[in-house]
Structure 1
Amino acid sequence: MTVVSPTVVPRMVQKYQSPVRVYKQPFELVMAAYERRFPTCHLIPMFVDSEVLGESVTDDGSVHTVQRRCKLDVDAPRLLKRIAGVDYVYFSQENTLNKRDRTLHIESHNETFSNRVIIHELCCYSAHPDNEDWTCFEQSASLDIKSFFGFESTVEKIAMKQYASSIKKGKEIIEFYLNQLEEEGITQVPRWSPSLDGPSVAVKPVCATPKIPDQDLPAVPALSDPLDADYIKRYLGDLTPLQESCLIRLRQWLQESHKGKIPKDEHILRFLRARDFNMDKARETMCQSLTWRKQHQVDHLLETWTSPRVLSDYYTGGWHHHDKEGRPLYILRLGQMDTKGLVRALGEESLLRHVLSINEEGLRRCEENTKVFGRPISCWTCLVDLEGLNMRHLWRPGVKALLRIIEVVEANYPETLGRLLILRAPRVFPVLWTLVSPFIDENTRKKFLIYAGNDYQGPGGLVDYIDKEIIPDFLGGDCMCDVPEGGLVPKSLYRTAEELENDDIRLWTETIYQSASIFKGAPHEVVIEIIDAASVITWDFDVCKGDVVFHIYHSKRAPQPPARKDPPGGPHGSITTPGGNNVQLIDRSWTLGLDYSMVESPLTCREGESVQGSHVTRWPGFYILQWRFHNMPGSSSTNLPRVDDVLASLQVSSHKCKVMYYTEVIEKECSHSLVISTSAASTELSLS
């Protein structure tokens, strides 16, 4: 007898979140407009009808609850309706109006096909927290598709379309009925009061209520504040409801996982746009970039980086006004640049730091121009003049440095280039383009405009993008440009290969975060000796890849690192672990509760999270900070596996995760002064 297993259909779950939308009318007036949507609304064609199933009012009249059943004619293919056997879809809705708190909570879910599809929607109207005469509206929804006759993707698209339409039409409908009320002379509805008997009634005032003037600029929300729809439109641009939802949800995830240390909304949006608003891909690349920024302290680059004199004299690039769209304009006279001389005099890392500082300055200028021009400006225009480009620019180390710079910029500054104007491209340019174009994102390549010879001077050329009065003099304009003319870097400034290598290493490792590799079954540990029991141990670490468990232990005796062993073939290249600088300190013979004790509950940390915390020490002695793979068997065992026990299994392991951490110890002395000592490392965990 053959047993046929049923086909398992993967469940599709989607969540949506709208920004806060603000009506500049009091809550009670908005509620009067909202009630006019029922029992049906001609502005929503698919809303066929509704009936009240139940209604209740508290004794004091402050809370009014209504249960409704809504009949919808969903815009779905006729074939799908025929297969499903329905013409209409029914939803249950419960409205709870709290007149005392000035809130209306709306919860609805589908009755039709509830065993196959679960649609859950939450809406809330409330008085504005900063202006009691305004009203806020928020909406969220979730879609859980268990199965739907093989049409799961179609149902998902229909639901997304209906959600987007609902968000777009919702505010228009309320504003329509608000205008209708105003035309009828109803401009004020009294607030609920315990002294009023029965429901509040709309009244026509003798004098019209003075309107609150519109604010010129919506406030920029704090990191913990929800995003306002007016703020999004003013500072970030016109987004579809689904794009708004992606932005809000990614921002919320970052707030929860990175404890407030998140980039600005403009930067989050850039990563979403670069990944076509794919939440998972955008989150992955953004977390990698945030870790990179923290490790190399890029957030402070503009304050800490000082360009060497040779860059000031011979790097032929600089900012120059803005283009016709208000985007900051950066000019690079690449054909006049001595790339070989700069690489030989500075090294690859210094050039990279300089380019990163240019990108950071570009972000700052975009923010400034957004305020100046009154519209969202999130990217800049780059003008590259190739006059003078020849074969010497194809010097291999120089091309290698260029490709490295492109790779780093593409990964960490997505969607910052609005347009690239390449002027006076010579015959050698196709060779250079062939080398670098594979390293440039396809969406970025679409922004390139290439002009050969003097083609840029005619119609469709430079004047279409840059005002004539700011075209640089070296391109035939009248504007003086401060960009250095370049020239050959004197060979007296060249440095030896050893000097450049040492300088590159110094710049690359010039960070409070360092590296240490460990493997599954071999947790990484850091020991901190505490003299004063009143000390505080603080930590800040990022889970770059994989999931880990963080422990803190205390011991009265100092743990000893394992003895260093020489590999076969001699003492050179001796190792302590397969990872090179992995450190395990808790001896396998130690017993938990006897030789050492746990002083903090284990903390499971997921990939992409940034964790900060502190521990006030109760006793002097040795505190051990430990990171291990979160689902490792026997993670709380007293017999900790050593490197020798797991080496064989590690040799076939190819999966890795990374934890980057920084610790700080604050010791309180008798004089109440604080002595701060620090240690840091970046831990690489290998998972099998």
Structure 2
Amino acid sequence: MTDIVATEIVLLDESLPLNEIDQGFYDAIKAEYGTACTEEFCIRLARAYRAEKKNRMGKTMAETKKIMDWRKQINANELLNTKLDQPELFSQCWPSMISGEDYYGHIVNYERLKDIQLDTFLSNFNLEQVLSHRAKHMERMHAEMNAVSKRVGRRIYKHICIFDLSGVGLKHLSPSVINFLKPIFDLGQIYYPESLFRMYLVNAPFVFWGTWKIISNFIDPETKEKIQIFKNAESFLVEARKARIPMTSIPKSLGGQSSGRMLDDTFVVGDCISPTQ
């Protein structure tokens, strides 16, 4: 499979100025919170609830308050400089990496189910600890997106997630595990809205589909539209090429060329090379 040839970048919505309608929501958020929230945060929130038809302003301001209160509660602005409980063990139990960027500059986050040591994970971390680690994970991702934005000279605040379902078994799909994972799913949707560009679930076995009907109930409709499921890596690679994800940004375990950068306490923001270089 040949790689993607770089051409002039087509700007997506996130890289464009706010339209007149969205600008009103940005102004309302900025007026309420001022310098307590960044420009990128205000822009994301101004666009996040477009599907709300009845009272979009009420929804936007209520959700913004919820997020701001939560960020203050967990001291989110300092998370990258905070050492959490057992960081090495958490990274071993739930490894995650950035494998590169797509044509537009979206970073690609890759995780593989069979690398998640479920028993060790559940016996060593309570839900509060897990949520803290995953919040730090999201803060790293956003810091990296900010670094990419500065490098390429346009705003990028969305990412791609590739989740490899190889090795999924009944223990991963039990009601107790799913109920434990639900707040983790919610963390990204509720507290980091408008951050996901696309999610690919790859190597989905037959047993997964029944559980997906349950899991998908946790996911809001807009997010669900961004998720694509593939039975194998081969079919995913065909779609990845159409979506302009170069082979250099696809993990070797899926047939790509990337060894990735681990998203753990050794991670250095901005320490990367553009896939087009």
The normalised TM-score by structure 1 is: 0.34
Q: Say if 1:436 and 1:243 are closer, same or farther in 2 by CA, change over 3 A.
A: same
Q: How does 1:582-661 map to 2 (within 5 A)?
A: none
- The equivalent position to 1:358 in structure 2, one of 137, 156, 159, is 137
Q: How does 1:49-88 map to 2 (within 5 A)?
A: none
- The equivalent position to 1:331 in structure 2, one of 110, 118, 125, is 110
Residue-by-residue CA offset, 1:329-375 (whole Å, 9 max, x unaligned): 11010243222330112222222111111111111111111111112
Residues 1:299 and 2:73 aligned together: no
Q: 2:93 touches 2:118 (CA, 8 Å); kept in 1?
A: no
Q: Secondary structure at the match of 1:460?
A: helix
Shift of 1:398: 2.3
Q: Say if 1:428 and 1:462 are closer, same or farther in 2 by CA, change over 3 A.
A: farther
Q: 2:18 touches 2:43 (CA, 8 Å); kept in 1?
A: no
Q: Say if 1:264 and 1:296 are closer, same or farther in 2 by CA, change over 3 A.
A: same
Q: Say if 1:296 and 1:418 are closer, same or farther in 2 by CA, change over 3 A.
A: same
- The equivalent position to 1:442 in structure 2, one of 210, 217, 221, is 221
Structure with bigger strand share is 1
In 1: Cα distance, 2:258 partner to 2:90 partner? 23
Q: Secondary structure at the match of 1:408?
A: helix
Q: Say if 1:347 and 1:451 are closer, same or farther in 2 by CA, change over 3 A.
A: same
Q: How does 1:231-630 map to 2 (within 5 A)?
A: 237-255=16-34, 260=35, 262-276=36-50, 278-306=56-84, 307-456=86-235, 459-461=238-240, 464-481=243-260
Q: Secondary structure at the match of 2:206?
A: coil
In 2: Cα distance, 1:234 partner to 1:483 partner? 29
Q: 2:25 touches 2:60 (CA, 8 Å); kept in 1?
A: no
Shift of 1:457: 5.0
In 2: Cα distance, 1:351 partner to 1:249 partner? 33
Q: 2:103 touches 2:246 (CA, 8 Å); kept in 1?
A: yes
In 2: Cα distance, 1:458 partner to 1:382 partner? 14
Q: 2:99 touches 2:259 (CA, 8 Å); kept in 1?
A: no
In 2: Cα distance, 1:471 partner to 1:407 partner? 26
In 2: Cα distance, 1:464 partner to 1:249 partner? 35
Aligned-partner residue type, residue 479 of structure 1:
S
Aligned residues: 247
Q: Say if 1:245 and 1:482 are closer, same or farther in 2 by CA, change over 3 A.
A: closer
Q: Say if 1:332 and 1:458 are closer, same or farther in 2 by CA, change over 3 A.
A: closer
- Give unmatched runs, 5+ long, in structure 1: 1-232, 485-688
Q: 1:316 touches 1:334 (CA, 8 Å); kept in 2?
A: no
Aligned-partner residue type, residue 265 of structure 1:
E
In 2: Cα distance, 1:402 partner to 1:427 partner? 21
Aligned-partner residue type, residue 32 of structure 2:
W
Residue-by-residue CA offset, 1:518-570 (whole Å, 9 max, x unaligned): xxxxxxxxxxxxxxxxxxxxxxxxxxxxxxxxxxxxxxxxxxxxxxxxxxxxx
Q: Say if 1:305 and 1:442 are closer, same or farther in 2 by CA, change over 3 A.
A: farther
The normalised TM-score by structure 2 is: 0.81
Q: Secondary structure at the match of 2:44?
A: helix
Shift of 1:387: 0.9
Residue-by-residue CA offset, 1:476-530 (whole Å, 9 max, x unaligned): 123324559xxxxxxxxxxxxxxxxxxxxxxxxxxxxxxxxxxxxxxxxxxxxxx
Q: How does 1:204-223 map to 2 (within 5 A)?
A: none
Residue-by-residue CA offset, 1:434-454 (whole Å, 9 max, x unaligned): 222111111111111111124
What residue is the counterpart of 2:269 in the other structure? Answer: none
What residue is the counterpart of 1:676 in the other structure? Answer: none
In 2: Cα distance, 1:417 partner to 1:458 partner? 20
Aligned-partner residue type, residue 219 of structure 2:
I
Q: Secondary structure at the match of 2:203?
A: strand
Percent pairwise identity = 24
Shift of 1:289: 1.3
In 1: Cα distance, 2:114 partner to 2:172 partner? 8
Q: Say if 1:394 and 1:299 are closer, same or farther in 2 by CA, change over 3 A.
A: same
Q: Secondary structure at the match of 1:452?
A: coil
In 2: Cα distance, 1:327 partner to 1:373 partner? 11
Q: Say if 1:251 and 1:462 are closer, same or farther in 2 by CA, change over 3 A.
A: same
Q: Say if 1:413 and 1:458 are closer, same or farther in 2 by CA, change over 3 A.
A: closer
What residue is the counterpart of 2:3 in the other structure? Answer: none
In 2: Cα distance, 1:470 partner to 1:235 partner? 21
Shift of 1:475: 0.9
Structure with bigger helix share is 2
Q: 2:107 touches 2:160 (CA, 8 Å); kept in 1?
A: yes
Aligned-partner residue type, residue 37 of structure 2:
P
Shift of 1:243: 1.7
Q: Say if 1:409 and 1:235 are closer, same or farther in 2 by CA, change over 3 A.
A: closer
Shift of 1:466: 1.6
Structure 1 vs Structure 2 CA RMSD:
2.4
Q: Secondary structure at the match of 2:239?
A: coil
Q: Secondary structure at the match of 1:311?
A: helix
Q: Say if 1:335 and 1:362 are closer, same or farther in 2 by CA, change over 3 A.
A: same
Shift of 1:234: 11
Q: 1:250 touches 1:279 (CA, 8 Å); kept in 2?
A: no
Q: Say if 1:234 and 1:370 are closer, same or farther in 2 by CA, change over 3 A.
A: farther
What residue is the counterpart of 2:275 in the other structure? Answer: none
Aligned-partner residue type, residue 275 of structure 1:
Y
Q: Say if 1:481 and 1:369 are closer, same or farther in 2 by CA, change over 3 A.
A: closer
**In terms of Rg, which structure is larger?**
1
